[in-house]
Structure 1
Amino acid sequence: MEKMRLFVLGLEGRLVPWVFPQDSFQSRFIRMSSQAPPRLLELACESLLRDKALAISVLEELPTELFPPLFTAAFTGRHCEALRALVQAWPFACLPLGALVTEQRIHRETIQAAFAGIDGLLAQKVRPRRWKLQVLDLRKHAHQDFWNVWSGSAPRMFSLTEPGTAKPMTKRQKVEEKQPSAPLEVLLDLCLSESTPDQFLTYLIKKVQQRNDLHLCCKKLKIFAMPIQNIRKILKVVELESIQNLEVNCTWKLSTLGRFAPHMGQMVNLRRLLLSHIHVSSDMTPAMEEQYVSLFTSQLLHLQHLHVLHLDSVCFLEGRLDQVLRCVKTSLETLSITNCLLLESDLMHLSLCPNVGQLKNLSLSGVSLTNMSPGPLKFLLERASSTLRDLALDECGIMDSQFSALLPALGHCSQLKTLSFCGNPISTAVLEDLLRLTVGLSKLSHVLYPDPLESYEDTDGTPHPGRLAQLHVKLRQMLQEAGRPSMIWSRANSCPRCGNRTFYDPGPLLCPCYLPV
């Protein structure tokens, strides 16, 4: 086949022949006429990768700036041999491979190619001078800007000398530098949602088990559905101190939580903990229940960086909230206790707890406060008034008298941005009092409120559209007169038929389940 010949300026000023089939050039020319033409850098990378031996041989002299676009081209074209060589010569501290993954098949191929290169290097006592790799990042949505910047599709926002990137080497530096071997971190986010690990995770666990100099690190761990024995096997190969965000969205017995708790205690850098749907089995004795609760709370003592705590549908909090909070030794920024049974003494302990005075986000949604004194919650709001930004008191059964008692404390929450108290049986008069008070909070931008009692039909308890329309007009007029027309007040109520919460703004609408099919 006839070939066209083009010379490009190569390394050290030499002219390097760039050869490609004529039909390839013609097809590219046709595509260029209908879309943006490929840049010279892209064409050069593709041309170089056609000669694998040449591509691998020039890596020692390749400028740092060309590694990312060449790696992207090798990844897209599935040039596994070139990928292995690129990993071995990678001049950056981090290789964000996960950001390039779009297909599971490519994922496996590239992972295997990357580990083939890593295996060979880790087996050497002295690493090559060019190799700077410390972290193989397999998270799919991390460092996407890295590839965009180096490919030229985004403006360069960092320099070559910033932390995490390698400095270009001068000729004097291009001598054999002995670097001691250090463990390589493999970073990914884990989501355990099936009974057994998938093929990729199984492969990764096997690789980590084979090498002491390969550490599996995880910043985000989510557990949805997996037998506890499988979870514990996986966590044995994970560097637990690397976990910063833990979500347990399982329906677990308290005994299962007790078996998991020692692993949680080793997550000493944990910043965010979400725990949901923990229940006590009917055959558990009070002594056993107390033993498992103590096992869980004792592990909280090790979490010296915990600032966000979410507890949803956790059965053992009733009468024990003080036991849990005593073991939290850090100042919490977010505390969410939702859909739980609490005693008034629990709310009193919460209001007096020393590490909740600087809260930014507080949610007690789904906690019944109907028969409780408003005093503890009022005191808590006063303590956090200078920092609180988001407050949620949905479905708490708060009555008029209780809400009126909370209004002065709410009026001092100068940083409050959002307030939600849907599903509470309050009157129109209290709702209007709240509006008059909160228009003075300059940062408050969004309020979610329930349909007041007067807006319901007497017959079946459904909202009356006409009354709601009048209320909405009145609230908007009050905001206009107070100089806060941009403040958003939205209705949000649970439908008595289907139970789903529907948001209404600006006008009142019925839940879709009321509409004719």
Structure 2
Amino acid sequence: MDIQTPPTLLQLAGESLLRDQASAIAALDYLPAELFPLLFIQAYRRRIPEPLKAMVQAWPFTVLPLGGLLQLPGLMVLQAVLDGLDILLAQEVRPRRWKLQVLDLRNTGTNFWRMWCGDSTWNCSWKVPVAVHSSSPNKEHPLVPLEVFLDLNFNERDDGDEFLKYILQWAQQREGLLHLCCKALRISEVPFQRQTPLDKLSIENCQRLTHSDLTHLSQCPNLRQLKSLHLFRLSLADFSLEPLRALLEAVAPTLQDLRLDNCGMVDSQVEAILPVLSRCQQLRDFTISMNNFCVATVEKLLRHTAGLRSLELELYPVPLECYRIRGILNQERLAQIRAELKAILSELGQTRTIYLCGKCCHTCGNTNVYDVAFS
């Protein structure tokens, strides 16, 4: 016959405490950080929302790896956790008790629960979140957006992931209060032709973007009416930009905002998109800063955008010729190149102001912007 391991005294204490929810909530102010994970799991498994809501507000760790528990049933208890966060997010100043910085909804973190709860069923590795103890108990902290990590998986055959829908709707309604971070995105067999046309597409900090992904985007019918295209901090240095050229060709009649900043682009790649740029007659904002261009490429960009009468904002990278070894900016050379670019604007006969953006300083994180104007 099976011999079940008897519950530990700690588990029995948690179960006893949860029988009186009001007492359990009141005890959180005095509960050691080491007891929170076990009590949280017990409340989660028993679907007791009020203690969960209170524990989120008093969570003594920097990370709540909730994704490791989501294989357990309960959209209701997920709602309780988010309700607890809402109480905190609604406040203008972060309470001194709030230590939580990251809500992790990915299928990770199970080692955290195993370590604190002694449950051998948890078997994933995880960097254990740190319990934070304030040295100034009466000090309030300025509000910093909460980071929420999750993986996205879109599949035509799914009727809809209620969990994903709920999370995305919750995050959208709290814009500015949290930072939604997706490190892994999977799209398979999604019927784009049946979707409403998009007017904005933004892809940022996606280091896993492949050439086939870019090709797929250029072929999506629901992107044919884009007004805004943002690609930021991508690794395009080894890509052929032919798919991007095809996408720009398709959206040229409607595109108003094109941003291709910090994508690792080089001179040879710009040649692929130069001709189509001149056909984006509705373009108002064009930024292509923090890429590796020589002055000749910047000059070509100026000439190919000269006929865009709606253009109001132009941001280009400071040319490579302006930098010394180790990326130090040569101010004298920069002044010469600004004068050369101003002469080109004069030659084109346009009242026009462009901006040159320098590389990000690794020490302070700032960037300098320089104007070149002709009137």
**Could you say whether these structures have the same fold, taking a TM-score greater than 0.5 normalized by the shorter chain as the test?**
yes
Distance 2:200 2:16 in 1: 44
SS, match of residue 186 in structure 2 = strand
Distance 1:207 1:292 in 2: 34
Q: What corresponds to 1:499 in structure 2?
A: none
Q: Which residue of the other structure, out of 27, 32, 35, is the alignment partner of 2:4?
A: 35
Q: Per-residue CA shift, 1:249-271, capped at 9, x if unaligned?
A: 79947442893999885352669
Q: Cα distance, 1:121 vs. partner?
A: 1.1
Check whether the contact 2:231–2:261 (CA below 8 A) recurs between aligned residues.
no
Identity %: 39
Check whether the contact 2:151–2:185 (CA below 8 A) recurs between aligned residues.
yes
Distance 1:191 1:63 in 2: 37
Distance 1:234 1:202 in 2: 21
Q: What corresponds to 2:62 in structure 1?
A: 93
Check whether the contact 2:148–2:179 (CA below 8 A) recurs between aligned residues.
yes
Q: Which residue of the other structure, out of 99, 102, 110, is the alignment partner of 1:132?
A: 99
Q: Per-residue CA shift, 1:151-174, capped at 9, x if unaligned?
A: 13579xx9xxx99412346xxx47
Q: What corresponds to 1:166 in structure 2?
A: 131
Q: Per-residue CA shift, 1:56-78, capped at 9, x if unaligned?
A: 00111111111111111111111
Alignment length, in residue pairs?
259
Q: What corresponds to 1:112 in structure 2?
A: 79
Q: What corresponds to 1:211 in structure 2?
A: 174
- Structure 2 counterpart of 1:145, which letter? N
Q: What corresponds to 2:263 in structure 1?
A: 303
Q: Which residue of the other structure, out of 231, 248, 260, is the alignment partner of 1:266?
A: 231
Q: Larger relative contact order (C-alpha < 8 A, sep ≥ 6)?
A: 2
Distance 1:323 1:56 in 2: 62
Q: Which residue of the other structure, out of 277, 291, 298, is the alignment partner of 2:249?
A: 291
Q: Per-residue CA shift, 1:73-106, capped at 9, x if unaligned?
A: 1111111111100101011111110111114x41
- Structure 2 counterpart of 1:110, which letter? V
Distance 1:272 1:163 in 2: 36
Q: What corresponds to 2:147 in structure 1?
A: 185
Task: Structure 1 unaligned segments of length 5 or more: list them.
Answer: 1-30, 280-286, 306-319, 331-517
- Structure 1 counterpart of 2:223, which letter? R
Say if 1:259 and 1:299 are closer, same or farther in 2 by CA, change over 3 A.
farther
Check whether the contact 2:66–2:109 (CA below 8 A) recurs between aligned residues.
no
Q: Cα distance, 1:49 vs. partner?
A: 1.0
Check whether the contact 1:265–1:302 (CA below 8 A) recurs between aligned residues.
no
- Structure 2 counterpart of 1:118, which letter? L
Q: What corresponds to 2:90 in structure 1?
A: 123
Q: What corresponds to 1:77 in structure 2?
A: 46
- Structure 2 counterpart of 1:165, which letter? V
Q: Cα distance, 1:43 vs. partner?
A: 1.4
Residues 1:200 and 2:169 are matched in the alignment: no
Q: Cα distance, 1:52 vs. partner?
A: 0.5
Q: Cα distance, 1:191 vs. partner?
A: 1.0
Q: Per-residue CA shift, 1:18-49, capped at 9, x if unaligned?
A: xxxxxxxxxxxxx9x82222221111111111
Q: What corresponds to 2:312 in structure 1?
A: none
| Map 1:346-495 → 2, pairs under 5 A | none
Q: Per-residue CA shift, 1:476-502, capped at 9, x if unaligned?
A: xxxxxxxxxxxxxxxxxxxxxxxxxxx
Distance 1:219 1:271 in 2: 18
**If the length of structure 2 is used for normalisation, what is the TM-score?**
0.55
Q: What corresponds to 2:303 in structure 1?
A: none
Check whether the contact 2:28–2:55 (CA below 8 A) recurs between aligned residues.
yes
Q: What corresponds to 2:338 in structure 1?
A: none
Check whether the contact 2:218–2:246 (CA below 8 A) recurs between aligned residues.
no
Q: What corresponds to 2:110 in structure 1?
A: 144
Q: Per-residue CA shift, 1:207-263, capped at 9, x if unaligned?
A: 122223123221111111334485987997xx9535444477799474428939998
Distance 1:235 1:48 in 2: 51
Q: What corresponds to 1:358 in structure 2?
A: none
Distance 2:41 2:191 in 1: 38
SS, match of residue 90 in structure 1 = coil
Distance 1:185 1:34 in 2: 43
- Structure 2 counterpart of 1:98, which letter? G
Distance 1:83 1:54 in 2: 13
Say if 1:222 and 1:288 are closer, same or farther in 2 by CA, change over 3 A.
closer
Distance 1:52 1:240 in 2: 45
Q: Per-residue CA shift, 1:415-440, capped at 9, x if unaligned?
A: xxxxxxxxxxxxxxxxxxxxxxxxxx
Check whether the contact 1:68–1:150 (CA below 8 A) recurs between aligned residues.
yes
Distance 1:185 1:164 in 2: 14
Say if 1:194 and 1:176 are closer, same or farther in 2 by CA, change over 3 A.
farther
Q: Cα distance, 1:293 vs. partner?
A: 12
**If the length of structure 1 is used for normalisation, what is the TM-score?**
0.41
Distance 1:79 1:242 in 2: 38
Q: What corresponds to 2:315 in structure 1?
A: none
Distance 1:153 1:257 in 2: 49
- Structure 2 counterpart of 1:225, which letter? E
Q: What corresponds to 1:334 in structure 2?
A: none
Distance 2:189 2:238 in 1: 17
